């Protein structure tokens, strides 16, 4: 049985860690240090660290398995990992780039789990990128880690069909389960020496960058279909939001409509409200707002929102 060293940080990596721990031999786990959360600034372990503690307490992980939460990857860390005699690295969203010194510690290779169908959507935000682009399918790729990010040879892929209603959070949860199955299959291939790596077609590569909070500000000159995709792509973060009279309003759910439903007006204009929602003019088509949230308040469907704050959905939004 190969000796696996696992690296990951967020919740999406937990199913893969759990599967590897149950079916293979995990000698060590690497994750980011505890981070401050909430207004209190309390330090909280990563999702992967919390799962490590659960698996060890339940006896799934052996007592000898080690957890690493280094602030930086230095010589002492490399020496400690090397002492575990790992065969292979499995990495899913650890959050930092590994250098050649670390990758050389794994004689059977370093494997990355990437939630897209590489070479499409190389980069740090492949799930929101697929939603923003209106892709009909996405998936999970396992590939060798090389010098160029997400450009290594492909070991396995699993495809997932999209129906145009997915949010980033929901889709990433779905892909995390697909990834766990794929990781298990590939590690069996590592043990049996049956893997057949395939080079990526680099001419077909597309790329995605990091999200930032400012991306969530609704640009009403965008087409309605683009704004609807942004709502789903930016859920749970950074969300899509607008302003009215200086107050921030988060748009949690919406539906794009044909522009022929209502007369044209300046973008951002609240046109009407009926049983289908609150209609806002966009650069192409109309966006029907279905669920909204004021700062510091609970989410409300549009009827309840109008009952409590009728003046916030009049005139033009975003001005």
Q: Are 12 and 91 in contact (CB under 8 A)?
A: no
Residues 6+ apart with CB under 8 A from 60: 18, 21, 22
Residue 187, marked binder: no
The answer on 72 and 34 residing in a single domain is: yes
Is 129 among the domain residues? no
**Position 276 confidence tier, pLDDT thresholds 50, 70, 90:** confident
Q: Are 68 and 28 in contact (CB under 8 A)?
A: yes
Q: Is the pLDDT of residue 261 over 70?
A: no
The answer on 228 and 300 residing in a single domain is: yes
Is 136 among the domain residues? no
Question: Which neighbouring-strand residues pair with 277?
Answer: 274
Query: What one-character-per-residue DSSP string does 175-241 give?
Result: HHHHHHHHHHHHHHHHHHT----B---GGG--EE----GGGGB--TTSBHHHHHHHHHHTTTTT-EE
Q: Is the pLDDT of residue 259 over 70?
A: no
**Average pLDDT over every residue of 205-213:** 97
Is 121 among the domain residues? no
DSSP conformational letter for 97: P
Output Rg (C-alpha) for the chain, integer angstroms. 23
CATH classification of the domain holding 235 = 3.10.25.10
The answer on 103 and 170 residing in a single domain is: yes
The answer on 176 and 64 residing in a single domain is: yes
d(CA 46, CA 157): 27
Backbone angles phi, psi at 287, to 5 degrees: -105, 125
**% residues pLDDT > 90 (the chain):** 90
Residue 126, marked binder: no
The answer on 172 and 57 residing in a single domain is: yes
* Count of residues making up the chain: 319
As separate numbers, helices (DSSP H) first and strands (DSSP E) second, the chain gives: 8, 17
Owning domain of residue 62: 3-112+141-148+165-192
What is the pTM assigned to this prediction? 0.95
d(CA 169, CA 191): 33
CB half-sphere exposure, 296, CA atoms < 13 A: 1
- pLDDT 10s digits, 60-85: 999 999 999 999 999 999 999 999 99
Residue 119, marked binder: yes
Q: What six digits make up the tokens of 19?
A: 């599967």
Is 244 among the domain residues? yes
- pLDDT 10s digits, 15-28: 999 999 999 999 99
**Average pLDDT over every residue of 241-251:** 95
The answer on 222 and 188 residing in a single domain is: no
Q: Is the pLDDT of residue 260 over 70?
A: no
Q: Prior bond to 74 cis, omega within 30?
A: no
The answer on 63 and 182 residing in a single domain is: yes
The Cα angle at residue 82 between residues 79 and 87, in degrees rounded to 5:
165
The answer on 80 and 184 residing in a single domain is: yes
CA-based max dimension of the chain: 70
**Average pLDDT over every residue of 276-300:** 94
**Position 319 confidence tier, pLDDT thresholds 50, 70, 90:** confident
**Between 264 and 175, where is the model more confident?**
175
Is 203 among the domain residues? no
3-state class (DSSP) for residue 96: coil
- pLDDT 10s digits, 113-154: 999 999 999 999 999 999 999 999 999 999 999 999 999 999
| Nearest CA among 53, 55, 67, 49 for reference residue 13 | 49
Is 71 among the domain residues? yes
Is 47 among the domain residues? yes
CATH classification of the domain holding 88 = 3.40.50.170
Domain count, the chain: 2
The answer on 226 and 104 residing in a single domain is: no
The answer on 309 and 277 residing in a single domain is: yes
Is 39 among the domain residues? yes
Residue 118, marked binder: yes
């Amino acid at each position: 049985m190969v000796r696996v060293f696992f690296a990951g940080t967020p919740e999406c990596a937990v199913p893969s860690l759990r599967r590897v721990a149950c079916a293979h031999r995990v000698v060590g786990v690497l994750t980011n240090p505890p981070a401050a959360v909430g207004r209190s600034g309390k330090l909280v372990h990563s999702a992967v660290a919390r799962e490590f503690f659960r698996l060890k307490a339940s006896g799934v992980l052996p007592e000898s398995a080690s957890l690493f939460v280094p602030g930086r990857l230095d010589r002492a860390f490399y020496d400690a990992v090397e002492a575990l005699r790992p065969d292979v690295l499995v990495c899913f969203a650890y959050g930092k780039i590994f250098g050649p010194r670390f990758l050389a510690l794994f004689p059977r290779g370093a494997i990355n789990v990437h939630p897209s169908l590489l070479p499409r959507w190389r980069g740090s935000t492949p799930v929101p990128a697929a939603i923003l682009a209106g892709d009909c399918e996405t998936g999970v790729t396992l590939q060798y880690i090389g010098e160029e990010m997400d450009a290594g040879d492909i070991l396995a892929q699993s495809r997932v069909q999209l129906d145009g209603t997915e949010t980033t959070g929901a889709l990433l949860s779905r892909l995390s389960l697909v990834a766990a199955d794929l990781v298990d299959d590939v590690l069996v291939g590592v043990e049996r020496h049956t893997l057949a790596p395939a080079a990526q077609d680099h001419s077909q590569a597309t790329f995605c960058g990091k999200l930032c909070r400012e991306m969530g500000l609704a640009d009403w000159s965008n087409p309605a279909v683009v704004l609807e995709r942004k709502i789903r792509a930016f859920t749970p973060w950074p969300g899509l939001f607008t302003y009215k009279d200086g107050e921030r309003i988060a748009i949690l759910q919406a539906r794009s409509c044909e522009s022929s439903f209502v007369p044209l007006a300046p973008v951002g204009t609240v046109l009407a409200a009926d049983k289908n929602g609150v209609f806002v003019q966009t650069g192409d088509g109309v966006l029907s707002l279905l669920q909204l949230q004021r700062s510091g308040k609970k989410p409300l469907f549009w009827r309840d929102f109008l009952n409590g704050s009728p003046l916030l959905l009049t005139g033009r939004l975003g001005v």
